[in-house]
Structure 1
């Protein structure tokens, strides 16, 4: 267990845990999640691709936000407005498929024609030309997709279909600060789903997650160590309302006023990408204590 006799600069708690089984679709809030070397179990294990095998996201298809996954009896169940539920066995995979996520081309498995038709029927009618016919891919667990060695300090860390790193850490205080800045302009508060975190920390000041060192989490099995390694530069996805899939510039405009990050050459950031250093196979749970020291780069 964590040695509580040694003072830590920061003590926080895990307030929320989220996974996003299908990249860019809605997330699932969990009370506990298994930590693996690629992040949380089943996070970004599936991905929607076009006819060339290139990934698609809410950037091109905002209605992906309306696809809600859940787990039931060994199945991934997908629901979307106006669609019958799609049931996929968690261990199902059909033919091999080569796919691309950003600059990485990796081996995956096609999930079959029924899944392809379901995604094409829901997303295709409003999709740009070239994105009318879609397929669902599953990450090949034998593949090791490396995170950027530049940001991990040369340490090998792996992820599945996440943009670049296995975990994203935010805090409830950072979201509260954003909402406090939105209010004077008459904007309704937004919730953290727009930022697609895996771990939401409580007990911090706003954006303390930007500057803490390795986080030691006391689990039932021992100690998990998670390190934040790269500020998360934000694309337009946080502007998309996860309830309606309608975009508005309010969130991005607000962040531009105070979150231009010199570490990322002035890009707007919110939250920190992170990797699991220790504790694969342990379970993270809401309410667990997180201890860390300040990082002075």
Structure 2
């Protein structure tokens, strides 16, 4: 046991971690809404659940179908054309042929909490309201309603 420890120590001492540049970050992108266009940022915090820049958290907003399953470019390819930006205290969505729509970063706590399914994992997200739901449903030209939900750490159904 002691011999193995001594050999390991000698190897570690010889091959100690040394910092060296292995790449250069040329652009930081945050995807506030899963599968929509990214937002380019100058800096970001690295958190347990992804990047953050101000109110923008990476993939904390999600488009879901009526049954709560996430919607990606596989189900609705035109979702990748939705531009997402921030303006003041709101998340702004723009898409071809659609008027711009804004959703407040501070959603009312009275908005419903919906059960959602993301890659086989059950989560909950706060519904962003009927106005953005109508916008998404119209954009996807669907008879099935779509909802935008926001993941809030610690959110629980009342």
Show CA shifts across 1:221-246 (max 9, x none): xxxxxxxxxxxxxxxxxxxxxxxxxx
Q: Which has the higher contact order (CA 8 A, sep 6+)?
A: 1
Alignment partners' CA distance in 1, 2:20 and 2:136: 47
Q: Which residue of 1 aligns with 2:146?
A: 134
- Correspondence 1:1-297 to 2 at 5 A: 7-8=18-19, 10-41=21-52, 42-93=57-108, 94-125=111-142, 132-142=144-154
Provide, for residues 128-185 of structure 1, a one-character-per-residue CA deviation record: whole Å limited to 9, x for no partner.
xxx7321111112116xxxxxxxxxxxxxxxxxxxxxxxxxxxxxxxxxxxxxxxxxx
TM (norm. structure 1) is 0.43
Q: Aligned partners of 2:18, 2:127: CA distance in 1, in Å?
A: 50
1:67-92 Cα distance to aligned partner (Å, 9 max, x none)? 00001111101101111111111121
Shift of 1:50: 0.6
Deviation at 1:65, TM superposition (A): 1.0
Extract unaligned runs of 5+ from structure 1. Answer: 1-5, 126-130, 144-297
Give me the whole-angstrom Cα distance separating, in 2, the residues matched to 1:67 and 1:132.
19
CA distance in 1, matches of 2:152, 2:42: 27
| Structure 2 counterpart of 1:209 | none
What is the SS of the residue equivalent to 2:27? strand
The C-alpha deviation readout for 1:186-231, integer Å capped at 9, x for no partner, is xxxxxxxxxxxxxxxxxxxxxxxxxxxxxxxxxxxxxxxxxxxxxx
Gaps (5+ residues) in structure 2?
A: 1-16
Give the CA deviation at 1:14: 1.5
Q: Matched residues in 1 for 2:48 and 2:66: separation?
A: 30
- Secondary structure (helix, strand or coil) at the match of 1:141 reads coil
Alpha-carbon distance in 2 for matches of 1:11, 1:24: 29
CA distance in 1, matches of 2:30, 2:136: 20
Number of aligned residue pairs: give it. Answer: 133
SS in 1 for 2:37: coil
